[in-house]
Each structure stands twice: as structure tokens, then as C-alpha cells.
Structure 1
Amino acid sequence: MKVGYARVSTDDQRLDLQLAALQAAGCKRVFEDHGISGTRMNRPGLSSMMRALRPGQTLVVWRLDRLGRSLNGLVQLIDELGRRGVEFQSLTEELNTSSPGGRLIFHIMAALAEFERALISERTKAGMLSAQLQGRHVGRPPSISDQDVLKANTDLQKESLKAVAERHGVSPRTLQRRLQKLRQTPGLLNATS
């Protein structure tokens, strides 16, 4: 059995063309999403369709971008369909995972998505390294300043860790981590004591 999925990004767009193509392709049931971007993979119609699909069925879309806009999201979704024994067909791109050629094209798409993720990761790491080399802090700002950690270190001679941490508005574990980090900086704690 063929199951269709149709989506439009805005409420003023119509599904007529997609619905006609899906019916002509033999879809017995069609799930729809109106006014929802393809970048979102948590759509009501898409979720209902995924729950309804059974092994041996085929999901049919008019075009790939109706299912999703992100290559990564598409690959994950089609991969999940394959694990569940559901075939996939895109009418416009003539992609059909029930044929060897269709599976090959899909695997090429998956490899491209993996390559894209690796490139993004490399660019992110390079940007972070560049920022660190320029002396900029990468990540969340510290919850307690170095100056307050030094003061807390002095206060710990008279008070409990819990009391000092509460006064500085951090957890005892956070204060311990920050003290340990400062203790690893040569001469910093000794210079202030």
C-alpha cells in the first residue's frame, strides 16, 4: 500500500497539485501539513504518518523538499523508514528505494550528508581554536569570576565549602572545579595568599 505525504509552508498555499500527483501514483491515504516549514522535522502530519506506516508500505512524496529541507533530516527520516521495512518514493526526482538504483542514489545522498556534517564540525573547531588563540573565551561565561574564586579560597579557611559557595551563588561542585582550575595555574593562588 502506498501512503502519501504533502506539505505547504504557508497557510495561503494550496496542496491541490501535490494531492493530485499522490492520488495518480496510487496513494490510498495522504497525510498533510499546512503552514509548516520543511526545516522543522516535528510536524503533526509527519508524526501521524510515521506512526501509521507499517512494514511493506511505501511512503510517497511529490518532491523531496516536501518531506524536509535539510539533507541530514531527510537522510535520517528515510533511514528510519528503511529500518522499519517501509520503502520511499519521490515522484519528481524519480527516487525509489525499492530499486537498486534508488537505493544507490539514497546512499550517495547519505554520504554527502555525512560529509557536510564533518565539514561543519571542522569549521566549528577551527573557529573555536582561532578564537582561543586570539585570547577570546570560548563557551559559556564562568559562573564565578577568578577574583571571587580567590576570595572564596581565603574564606574556606574559616567557613565550609557549602557556605562559601552559597554566598557566591554557585554550587559547591562548581566552586571546587574553579578552585582546582586556579590551583593548576602556576603561582596564582600563592601570589594572592
Structure 2
Amino acid sequence: MPKVLGYGRISSGSQDVASQKAVLEKAGCAVVFTETGNGSKLDGRTQLETAIRLLDAGDELLAFSPDRIARDTADLLMVARRVVEKGAVLRVLEPPLKFDGTDIMAEMMLTLFGLIGRVEKHFIRARQARGIEARKAANGYHGRPPSIDPAEIRALRDKGLGASAIASQLKIGRASVYRLLGEEKQKA
């Protein structure tokens, strides 16, 4: 029996994916895969990858809107083709769209929605850059606050731990440890 798998995505942790999930479940999804992340790239989208991997012939991957899948024409079409290669169908609720690889109009619509997503991504970045420049002009922009405490890294180094062990314990990358320790050497 064919299954319907859902995919929902939000851009940031301050948003709530529950509304997408509820709509997708109401539309018949047996399972809804959700994740938080930037829609401008597919790298790291493990839940989308899992959903596609679990598709069988006759199944359906359902998303609320095209921009929840990707905000780029090439990425959106690549996902759609991967779904079709599995013998499944990609369906979008808003606007209603079904892509099975046989309808040139559906492919044209996906292409158009991918382009719209790309334009929207451009405007988002432009607004963000203007906001940063305005904050800099008002001496209010200092970048993202540090998420790693240099004192904690120093304390672990002083205990004799190497960069790999520090990175593992703090669940950060080794490059971050090397960078912070390197900055200390330059200040000394």
C-alpha cells in the first residue's frame, strides 16, 4: 500500500513547525519529517534525505509549499527528480501541485516557484545587509555573540587535554579550538 510522507521545514528556532506538521498530517501523511534550517541549501537537510530514502514506488512526498523544500530552482528540481527516480510523486499543498515527471506544466511550475524562492532569498539577504549596515552606523552591531567560552577551552588545555579531546568534550569543532588557542598566542 502506497504511503504519504510529509516534509516540513522552518528557517529558525523562533518559528514553530507544528502548524506545517498539523496541515500535512490532516492531508494524509503517515509520518512528517521536520527540520529547522536554511532553505537556501540542501546540505545538512538530513530529514529531507531520510524522507526521500524511505520512498518506494507509488509513494508520495508531500510538502506545504515549494519554498519549504528549497529556495533555489536547481535544488527544487533536483529534489523533485530524486523523488520521481524512486517511482514516487512530489506533491505540494500551496499552491496545489503534483510532480510525477511526466507533466511539463508541473515542471514549469516547479521551476517558476524555485525562481521565486531564489528572488525572495535575494531580498532577504539584501534586507539583512541593510540592517547590519544601519546597526554598524549606529555603533550597535557587534556580530553574533560568541558561543564558545575561551576560558573553558583554556581550563581544559591547562588540564593537559589536546585539541581533539577539548573539541569532543565541548561538542565543537577542532578548528574552533585551534583558532581560539591561536588567538591567545598572538595576544601574548
**1:61-99: CA deviation from partner (whole Å, max 9, x where unpaired):** 001100000011101110121121010110011001259
Name stretches of at least 5 consecutive residues in structure 2 with no aligned partner: 116-188
Matched residue, 1:28: 30
Residue in 1 aligned with 2:165?
none
1:56 aligns with 58
* Residue 38 of structure 2: aligned partner: 37
Is contact 1:22–1:61 with CA below 8 Å preserved after alignment?
yes
Residue among 83, 87, 94 paired with 2:89: 87
Greater relative CO (CA pairs within 8 A, separation 6+): 2
Contact 1:95 1:105 in 2 (8 A): no
Matches for 1:1-193 after TM superposition, within 5 Å: 1-34=3-36, 36-42=37-43, 43-98=45-100, 103-109=103-109
* SS of equivalent residue, structure 1 residue 27: coil
Q: Distance in 2 between matches of 1:98 and 1:44?
A: 23
Which ranges of structure 1 fall in alignment gaps of 5 or more residues?
116-193
One-letter amino acid matched to 2:57: P
Alpha-carbon distance in structure 1 between the residues aligned to 2:25 and 2:110: 29
State the match for 2:159 in structure 1: none
**Aligned residue number for residue 154 of structure 2:** none
Measured in 1, the distance between the counterparts of 2:97 and 2:109 equals 11
Question: Is the contact between residue 77 and residue 111 of structure 2 (CA under 8 Å) also seen in structure 1?
Answer: no
CA deviations on 1:137-170 (whole Å, 9 max, x unpaired) are: xxxxxxxxxxxxxxxxxxxxxxxxxxxxxxxxxx
Residue 15 (structure 1) shift: 0.8
Q: What root-mean-square deviation, in Å, do the aligned CA atoms of Structure 1 and Structure 2 show? A: 2.4
Larger radius of gyration: 1
Change (3 A) 1:95 1:12: same
1:18 is paired with a residue whose SS is helix
Tell me which stretches of 4 or more aligned residues in structure 1 moved more than 6 Å.
Answer: 110-113
How far off its partner does 1:109 sit?
Answer: 4.3
CA distance in 2, matches of 1:12, 1:110: 28
**Which residue does the alignment assign to 2:186?**
none
Deviation at 1:19, TM superposition (A): 0.8
Distance 1:112 1:62, change over 3 A: closer
**Distance change >3 Å, CA 80–CA 15, structure 1 → 2:** same
Q: What percentage of aligned pairs have identical amino acids? A: 26
Q: How far is 1:112 from its partner?
A: 6.3
Amino acid at match of 2:72: S
- The Cα shift of 1:5 comes to 0.1
Normalising by structure 1, we get a TM-score of: 0.52
